[in-house]
């Protein structure tokens, strides 16, 4: 019995020693020179992929193991590493932006960042900047779509090309079917892009209230410019903004949900209308 008791005491002591030797993650502010921003690559404008950019302006390397991004305007985002960041270097930690909600202006986000410095685990809570408004623009567009969904279904018809050569026009019908749940939403127009001049249906006028019977809006698109390099390198030319306003929402906009199939038709149309060689 004594031997058994001794074995148990030794085991407990070893366990306690192991626990006490485990590194404890300390809470503290970021090292001097370390900054945290949210942004998006131009290459990924057609996606919902953003990144948390961590600039290590300190004198010590850091090893990021995890972060959690929290905001009142979207569900929590968690990223797991590790990612090594040497002194003077940046790391862009990509994540998918969840659907945004209407709410306070801006991102209003907090990042819980877990990392190691000099083999010491550290946890810091920081307010990331959104220097170019990338995340804020996402949330505003999501809010605009959420508002419109309450008022109407917004569906795209079949895109088609009318005419040929340089006189060809791309026609994109959009069917707006009011739900009857709210009548204060007004469509204020469609914007052009670096690739397309977008001519809105005259029915839009200075604003089209979303109520009553379904309405079909015919968008007429022609090339903004015939530049083969612009077409080959474009990332945002098919992102057509839709403006709207409501009683509880200042004028804002979201992008027409073109999708890959219609996007391919649009780009092929520009190549044909501009006389670019095709393979």
Domain CATH code at residue 45: 2.60.40
The answer to whether residue 12 sits within a structural domain is no
142-169 in b/e form (b: 16+ CB < 10 A) is bbbbebbeebbebeeeebebeeeeeebe
Burial group, residue 67, by CB count within 10 angstroms (0-12, 13-18, 19+): buried
List all residues 6 or more positions away from 43 whose beta carbon is below 8 Å from its beta carbon: 235
Taking the C-alpha atoms of residue 92 and residue 55, their distance in angstroms, rounded to an integer, is: 9
84-118 in b/e form (b: 16+ CB < 10 A) is ebeeeeebebebebbebebeeeebbbebbbbbbbe
The answer to whether residue 122 sits within a structural domain is yes
The answer to whether residue 36 sits within a structural domain is yes
Q: Are residues 112 and 170 in the same domain?
A: no
Residues of the chain predicted below pLDDT 50: 1, 5-22
Q: Are residues 95 and 165 in the same domain?
A: no
pTM of the model: 0.80
List helix spans (H) across the chain: 2-21, 134-151, 228-233, 259-273
Residue at a domain's end among 104, 132, 160? 132
Q: Are residues 82 and 203 in the same domain?
A: no
List all residues 6 or more positions away from 106 whose beta carbon is below 8 Å from its beta carbon: 130, 136
The answer to whether residue 119 sits within a structural domain is yes
Taking the C-alpha atoms of residue 155 and residue 217, their distance in angstroms, rounded to an integer, is: 10
Q: Are residues 38 and 153 in the same domain?
A: no
The predicted pLDDT at position 279 comes to 57
In the chain, the number of structural domains is 2
The predicted pLDDT at position 164 comes to 85
90, 53 contact by CB (below 8 A): yes
Taking the C-alpha atoms of residue 36 and residue 163, their distance in angstroms, rounded to an integer, is: 51
Q: Are residues 128 and 170 in the same domain?
A: no
* Cα distance between the two ends of the chain: 87
Q: Are residues 264 and 154 in the same domain?
A: yes
The answer to whether residue 154 sits within a structural domain is yes
Of 54, 48, 113, nearest to 86 by C-alpha is: 54
Residue at a domain's end among 85, 109, 132? 132
Q: Which domain holds residue 86?
A: 26-132
The predicted pLDDT at position 8 comes to 44
Residue at a domain's end among 76, 111, 132? 132
Q: Are residues 264 and 237 in the same domain?
A: yes
Paired strand residues for 265 = none
Q: Are residues 158 and 73 in the same domain?
A: no
Q: Are residues 70 and 100 in the same domain?
A: yes
Q: Are residues 88 and 179 in the same domain?
A: no
The answer to whether residue 7 sits within a structural domain is no
Q: Are residues 176 and 268 in the same domain?
A: yes
Of 118, 166, 171, 190, nearest to 273 by C-alpha is: 166
Taking the C-alpha atoms of residue 220 and residue 42, their distance in angstroms, rounded to an integer, is: 26
The answer to whether residue 11 sits within a structural domain is no
The answer to whether residue 3 sits within a structural domain is no
Q: Are residues 179 and 77 in the same domain?
A: no
């Amino acid at each position: 019995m004594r031997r058994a008791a001794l074995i148990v005491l030794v085991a407990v002591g070893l366990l306690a020693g192991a626990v006490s030797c485990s590194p404890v993650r300390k809470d503290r502010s970021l090292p001097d020179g370390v900054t945290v921003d949210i942004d998006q690559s131009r290459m990924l404008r057609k996606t919902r992929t953003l990144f948390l950019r961590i600039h290590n302006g300190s004198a010590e390397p850091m090893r990021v193991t995890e972060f959690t991004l929290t905001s009142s305007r979207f569900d929590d985002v968690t990223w797991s590493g590790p990612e090594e960041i040497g002194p003077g270097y940046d790391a862009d930690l990509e994540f998918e932006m969840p659907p945004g909600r209407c709410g306070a202006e801006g991102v209003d986000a907090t990042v819980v960042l877990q990392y190691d410095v000099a083999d010491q685990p550290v946890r810091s809570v920081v307010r990331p900047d959104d220097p170019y408004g990338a995340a804020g623009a996402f949330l505003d567009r999501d809010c605009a779509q959420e508002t419109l969904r309450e008022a109407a279904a917004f569906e795209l018809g079949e895109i088609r090309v009318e005419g040929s050569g340089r006189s060809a026009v791309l026609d994109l019908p959009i069917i707006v079917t009011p739900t009857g749940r709210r009548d204060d939403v007004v469509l204020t127009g469609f914007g052009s892009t670096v690739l397309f001049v977008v001519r809105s249906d005259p029915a839009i006028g200075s604003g089209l209230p979303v109520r009553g019977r379904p309405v079909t809006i015919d968008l007429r698109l022609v090339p903004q410019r015939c530049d083969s390099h612009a077409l080959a390198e474009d990332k945002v030319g098919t992102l057509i903004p839709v403006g709207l306003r409501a009683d509880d929402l200042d004028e804002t906009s979201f992008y027409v949900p073109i999708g890959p199939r219609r996007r391919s038709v649009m780009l092929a149309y520009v190549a044909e209308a501009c006389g670019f060689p095709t393979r």
